[in-house]
Amino acid sequence: MIWHLRSALNVAALGCRGPLEATLTSDYNRLLAEKRALLASALAQTEADARAVGGKDWRDTHDRQMTRLYNYFALPPVKSAFCTVAVRVAAEAVAVSSAEFQAFADSALPRLEAPFLDFYMRYDRYRLELAEWRARTMPATNPVEASVSAMTPPADKSIAAGEASYRH
């Protein structure tokens, strides 16, 4: 949890731009300096986990896991919401003692993940609503008409509103 929290905040410090960028970067760098030993221990644990799974190729295993982790937190349609949460979490992280940091990470990481989970839930809802719309509007007997209908967006305002929220 600690290493994933640090990874999320690293992505935020590198990618979040705007009026709070300097504050976020400063808090992240302070976190790295003040929690150096704690973060080194967390990294060592992720490496040990990769050794247990990957054997002699543990570095490849670890690199793949870290690449997936960083890519997860860098999903473009979620960036705005993620950055908003990351600014708050980074500010809180520097105020937490090392002794309390594990408990903090356990509660902070789900907050950082929430914008991503919300995005995927909305996307799944969109896909279900689109499938329902297609089932109602596309006649199964005429493939040409069905393909033209498939190019016409649904009129459902909740879907259109959901799509608009992804364009940040």
pLDDT in tens, the chain (168 residues): 999 999 999 999 999 999 999 999 999 999 999 999 999 999 999 999 998 988 899 999 999 999 999 999 999 999 999 999 999 999 999 999 999 999 999 999 999 999 999 999 999 999 999 999 998 888 766 555 555 555 555 555 544 444 444 333
- Alpha carbon 48 to chain centroid distance? 24
Query: What pLDDT sits at residue 25?
Result: 97
Query: What pLDDT sits at residue 146?
Result: 56
Query: What pLDDT sits at residue 67?
Result: 94
Query: What pLDDT sits at residue 27?
Result: 98
Query: Cα separations (Å) of 45 from 19, 36, 134, 159?
Result: 35, 14, 48, 43
Query: What pLDDT sits at residue 8?
Result: 98
* pTM for the full predicted model: 0.77
The vertex-63 CA angle with 107 and 11, nearest 5°, equals 45
Structure tokens at 114: 């929430």
Query: What pLDDT sits at residue 12?
Result: 97
Query: What pLDDT sits at residue 131?
Result: 92
Query: What pLDDT sits at residue 138?
Result: 82
DSSP 20: T
